[in-house]
Structure 1
Amino acid sequence: MRLTSPAIAPGAAIADDYACTGADRSPALAWSDAPQSTKTKSFALIVDDPDAPHGTFFHWVAYNIAAGETSLPAGVPQTAEIAGGGTNGINSFEHIGYNGPCPPPGKMHHYRFHLFALDSTLTPGDPADAAAVQSAMRGHVVATAELVGTFER
Structure 2
Amino acid sequence: MSRTTVAGFEVISTSVDEKHFLSVDCTCDGAAQSPAITWSGAPAETKTFAVSIWHTAPDQEKSYWVVYNIPANVTSLKQNSQGVGSVGANDRGSTNYDPMCSKGPGLKKYHITVFALSSKLEVSPREATRANLRKAMKNVLLGESTLDVLYER
Q: TM-score, normalised by structure 1?
A: 0.88
Is it true that 1:125 corresponds to 2:124 in the alignment?
Answer: yes
Residue 97 of structure 1: how far off its partner (Å) = 2.2
Structure 2 gaps of 5+ residues are 1-8
Is it true that 1:24 corresponds to 2:32 in the alignment?
Answer: yes
Residue 49 of structure 1: how far off its partner (Å) = 0.8
Q: Work out the CA distance in 1 between the residues paired with 2:132 and 2:18.
A: 28
Matches within 5 A, 1:61-72: 61-72=66-77
Measured against aligned partners, the alpha-carbon deviations of 1:41-73 in whole angstroms (never above 9, x if no partner) come to: 1001111011x2421100111100001111011
Any conservation in 2 of the 1:24–1:99 contact (CA below 8 Å)? yes
Q: Work out the CA distance in 2 between the residues paired with 1:87 and 1:5.
A: 20
Correspondence for 2:50? 44
Measured against aligned partners, the alpha-carbon deviations of 1:29-50 in whole angstroms (never above 9, x if no partner) come to: 11111111xx101001111011
**Structure 1 residues 149, 10: closer, same or farther in 2, change over 3 A?**
farther
Any conservation in 1 of the 2:89–2:125 contact (CA below 8 Å)? no
| CA RMSD after TM alignment | 1.5
Correspondence for 2:4? none
Residue 93 of structure 1: how far off its partner (Å) = 2.1
Any conservation in 1 of the 2:86–2:125 contact (CA below 8 Å)? no
Q: Work out the CA distance in 1 between the residues paired with 2:102 and 2:137.
A: 28
Measured against aligned partners, the alpha-carbon deviations of 1:73-123 in whole angstroms (never above 9, x if no partner) come to: 11023xxxx33xx10001012221212211113122111001000001101
Secondary structure at 1:150 match in 2: strand
Correspondence for 2:134? 134
Is it true that 1:14 corresponds to 2:19 in the alignment?
Answer: no
How many equivalent pairs are there? 144
Secondary structure at 1:143 match in 2: strand
Pick one of 73, 78, 85 that aligns with 1:73: 78
Any conservation in 2 of the 1:44–1:63 contact (CA below 8 Å)? yes
Residue 126 of structure 1: how far off its partner (Å) = 3.8
Q: TM-score, normalised by structure 2?
A: 0.88
Measured against aligned partners, the alpha-carbon deviations of 1:123-150 in whole angstroms (never above 9, x if no partner) come to: 1234121121111000211121111111
Structure 1 gaps of 5+ residues are none
